[in-house]
Amino acid sequence: MNLLSYIIINIVETLLRMMPLPTRTGIIRMGHPGKDSPVLLTGNYHLTIARVKRALKGIDAYLLVANSRGINIWCASAGGHFNNHSVISALKTSDIEKLVNHRNVILPQLAATGVETRAIHSKTGWKVIWGPVYAKDIPEFLHNGLKKTPQMREASFPGTARLEMAIAWAFPISLIAVLIALPFWRQSIPYLAALVWGMALLMFLAFPLYSRWLTAKGRRIGFIFFDFGRGGFQLVLWGVVLIGLIAYSLATDQFSGGFILRWGFASLVVIIVLSMDLAGSTPTFHSSLSEDRLLKVYLDKTKCRGAAFCEQVCPRNCYQANKEKHTATMPRAEQCIRCGACIVQCPFDALYFRSPKGEVIPPESIRQFKMNLLGKRLVKPGG
């Protein structure tokens, strides 16, 4: 694939980022793979495959595309669309077993919240190795004898990723805003679109400036939009926009109560819609729409034997394993985003979620029940 088409794919698919975009499942040969070449498996989101292929340039390997229903691997794994069955299916129904002598498959680390290594091994004989979070680190990971540095394990939210998320939200929301305004407020359309894009870029690009004040511990006050950061964030932002509006209208001689009322209301709606799941749009916070954000991971020291799977799969580097003492600790527990990957993978069930009321959610229910779009695990309390 040449650079131009890669750039076009990235632009178009960033605009359409909120929609799933499936690609063909099955085996893709990278370079000239042989019987001992590594096997890498990922989901069938089109953009993922384009990026993984680019990262694997010049490497002889098999890329096995499993069915994640066209959704990126992290969301698909957390939402139950990419699970043990998807991986087993790809390994058994493709011809990969005839093509290689070994039985080691490298999976993206972010799939660890939905795929159990034990189940895959017992049902297929394949051993799962957790690869890096980002495709760009795959060559170094392969070169280092399948060892990950702490950086390779951590999901981060750099400027490029924030720009992508801003565009991913701005495009569909500005489209909807334009459609709503079309019948009765036609003259406002360019300004409305500019407002949406401007607010989205502002919110995501300025994220590091205010993220330290955002807290995942917010209680439900009133209604869901004002959950994250107790609503203060949205109100401050709206205040800034209102001041901007007044200044703009005074400078351009358009100042009137009606003008401030109309655009004040429009900007409030835009802020609410854009920030509805701001936390869930970042890889460094848990979605504010899900009740899981209030859970806490507990480490049962009596059960822990230092297998260190938690350290390998945690995308926030919360854990520190001590190989000599055969124990793990959580020195960076405050970074936890409650993805549940460590709980799913722990071979000794030493990790579990506890709710604010003190209820224990056993590892088994985290393994079995994934979250739906409304952020509810499909499990009833006590059942």
Partner 1 sequence: MSTYVLMKILESTASRYDRGLRLLTLGRLDRIYEHLTSPIKRGQKVLDIGCGTGSLTLRAAAKGATVKGIDVNPEMLSVARRRAEAARFSPEIEFAEMGVAELGSEPPESYDVVMSGLCFSELTADELAYTLKEINRILKPGGWLLVADEVRPQNPLKWLAHGLIRIPLVVITYIITQTTTHAVKDLPEKVREAGLIIKSLKPNKLGDFVELVARKPERQ
Give the nearer residue to partner 1 in terms of CB position, either 277 or 311: 277
Give the nearer residue to partner 1 in terms of CB position, either 208 or 362: 362
How far is residue 362's CA from residue 112's CA, in Å, rounded to a whole number? 17
Counting residues that bind partner 1 (by CB under 8 A) gives 23
Give the nearer residue to partner 1 in terms of CB position, either 165 or 330: 165
Of the CA atoms within 13 Å of residue 378, those in its CB half-sphere come to 10
Stretch that binds partner 1, among 182-190, 302-310, 330-338, 372-380 (CB under 8 A): 372-380
Both tokens of 176, joined, read 């909807």
User: Which positions from 28 through 87 interact with partner 1, judged by CB under 8 A?
Assistant: 67, 69, 71, 79, 81, 83, 85
94 near partner 1, judged by CB under 8 A: yes
151 near partner 1, judged by CB under 8 A: no
Minimum CB distance to partner 1, residue 172 (Å): 11
Minimum CB distance to partner 1, residue 84 (Å): 8
Give the nearer residue to partner 1 in terms of CB position, either 338 or 370: 370
> Tokens 């595309």 appear where?
65
Q: Where are the alpha helices (DSSP H) in 26-158?
A: 46-55, 73-78, 84-93, 96-99, 117-124, 138-143, 150-153
Minimum CB distance to partner 1, residue 76 (Å): 9
Among 20, 33, 108, 280, binds partner 1 (CB under 8 A): 20
In this structure, is the dihedral angle defined by the CA atoms of residues 281, 284, 288 and 293, taken in order, positive or negative? positive
**How many of the other CB atoms lie within 10 Å of CB of 212?**
7
Both tokens of 315, joined, read 């995308």
Question: How would DSSP label each residue in 343-358?
Answer: HHH-TT--EEEE-TT-
Helix (H, G, I), strand (E, B) or coil at 106: strand
- Per CB under 8 A, residues contacting partner 1 are 19-20, 25-26, 67, 69, 71, 79, 81, 83, 85, 88-89, 91-94, 123, 368-369, 372-373, 378
